[in-house]
Amino acid sequence: MTTIKQHLDNASDILAHHSLSPRLDAEVLLAFVLGKNRSYLRTWDDKQLELKSLELFAELVEKRREGVPIAYLTGQREFWSRDFKVSPAVLIPRPETELLIELCLDSLSSSQKYAVLDLGTGSGAIAITLAAERPLVEMTALDKSFDALEIAKDNAVRHNCQHIEFVLSDWLSALSTDVTFDFILSNPPYIAQDDVHLSQGDVRFEPMSALVAEDNGLGDIKRIANDAKKHLRPGGQLWFEHGYNQAQETQEILKALNYKNIKTYFDLSDQPRVTMGFI
Ligand SMILES: C[S@@+](CC[C@H](N)C(=O)[O-])C[C@H]1O[C@@H](n2cnc3c(N)ncnc32)[C@H](O)[C@@H]1O
């Protein structure tokens, strides 16, 4: 009979040419199938698997071999130490986006009330993390994808953030002009339509509407920067995550619209990743 260790070895071999982390992928998938953590697999590596678990594991390994992201197979991804439900309707939250969280937490005092809008909330990772870390924040989370908002609402319940207001809208178009915020944040689609990376790795399985923007990737940043002006309170701040090569253009977009004190911040890989300005 085959043991956990042997199943993991086989799966790692199958994934060897299809993943950058075949052993880790195999362990994450088997741990998910068994409802255990990865250390269980090491402790019990001579244990045998039930047929039902074996079949599900084989199915998931095959999907992974075809390229399906691990997060879509397990239905979750960790972000800022919380597990977020994900599905192919939402972008898989990225570690780079934690920079935006870190910077916003520095700007949002925990003893003050703010109105904050997360544009293009997807799984809700940004809105829910900030709402959970700063309970006084009045958070609005907006997306044009109904399916994404359903996932974000589930995540809000999961993380006890039912006070977040969810809005279905094409950027700010559904908000009346008297609805204003202290902070507007967005990790919008910013990849150019012809970017070669779109045909590689996990992004092949993510929604194009979450990834791609017109105008060489800058179309949504331009539109949001323009429309956000009507919805920012005096002294309000607009924050963008953008591509590693879009800092200068994002700064120029904000300057042309008279945003002030514009700054760009670098991520852990030393790439310019977040740009902000004050109204
Ligand atoms: C890059 S994803 C960001 C998801 C999430 N905020 C995160 O950081 O993981 C961009 C999101 O913007 C949404 N989006 C794209 N175009 C939009 C539009 N015109 N109006 C509102 N949301 C839009 C997509 O549905 C997607 O959820």
SS3 category, 8: helix
What's the pLDDT at 1?
Answer: 75
Structure tokens at 243: 């591509």
Count CA within 13 A, CB hemisphere, residue 74.
Answer: 22
Cβ atoms 136, 106 nearer than 8 A:
no
What's the pLDDT at 147?
Answer: 98
List, by residue range, all CATH 3.40.50.150 domains of the chain: 88-278
Cβ atoms 48, 2 nearer than 8 A:
yes
Cβ atoms 18, 65 nearer than 8 A:
yes
Residues with CB under 6 A from ligand 1: 90-91, 93, 97, 120-123, 125-126, 143-145, 148, 170-171, 187-189, 209-210
For residue 77, the CA-to-ligand 1 centroid distance in Å is 17
Per-residue pLDDT of the chain (279 residues; tens, 9 = 90+): 799 999 999 999 999 999 999 999 999 999 999 999 999 999 999 999 999 999 999 999 999 999 999 999 999 999 999 999 999 999 999 999 999 999 999 999 999 999 999 999 999 999 999 999 999 999 999 999 999 999 999 999 999 999 999 999 999 999 999 999 999 999 999 999 999 999 999 999 999 999 999 999 999 999 999 999 999 999 999 999 999 999 999 999 999 999 999 999 999 999 999 999 999
Cβ atoms 32, 38 nearer than 8 A:
no
**Interatomic CA distance for residues 252 and 249, integer angstroms:** 5
User: At 59, which helix (H) or strand (E)?
Assistant: helix 51-65
User: At 235, which helix (H) or strand (E)?
Assistant: strand 232-241
List, by residue range, all CATH 1.10.8.10 domains of the chain: 4-67
**Interatomic CA distance for residues 92 and 113, integer angstroms:** 29
CATH number of 4-67: 1.10.8.10
CATH number of 88-278: 3.40.50.150
User: At 23, which helix (H) or strand (E)?
Assistant: helix 22-34
Query: Which ligand 1 atom is nearest residue 127's CA?
Result: 6
